[in-house]
Amino acid sequence: MAEALTLEFDEETSARLELARRRREVSLEDLVRDALADFLEREEASTNEFAEDNARWAEYKTTGRSIPNDDVIRWLRSFGTDDEVPCPQ
């Protein structure tokens, strides 16, 4: 079920929203709804990436296992060559 929400913007933001609304030829409601949906997708992706980074850091602190930077660089530089090396483990 949709929920109504009232927002107040300063004059500059209101003018910017109106300009964007006209350029896209959409209603203000659709513009703001799409902008919020895009923001939430980015925010959720950022939160998930942060959680993944923390999990990897915790694993490193527990195991001490890592891949040396030189091995990763050698692997990356081999991309697209006849001597492509396997992904370092």
**What are the tens digits of pLDDT across the range 29-44?**
999 999 999 999 999 9
Determine the Cα–Cα distance for residues 67 and 87; give it in Å rounded to an integer: 10
Is 61 a domain residue? yes
**What are the tens digits of pLDDT across the range 4-28?**
889 999 999 999 999 999 999 999 9
Q: Calculate ∠ Cα 30-33-39, nearest 5°.
A: 140
**What are the tens digits of pLDDT across the range 49-67?**
999 999 999 999 999 999 9
Total of domains in the chain:
1
Is 52 a domain residue? yes
**Which DSSP string corresponds to 2-53?**
---------HHHHHHHHHHHHHHT--HHHHHHHHHHHHHHHHHHHHHHHHHH
Position 2 scores a pLDDT of 82
Which domain, by its residues, includes 58?
12-77
What is the value of pTM for the model shown? 0.64
Is 62 a domain residue? yes
Is 86 a domain residue? no
Banded pLDDT at 73 (limits 50, 70, 90): very high
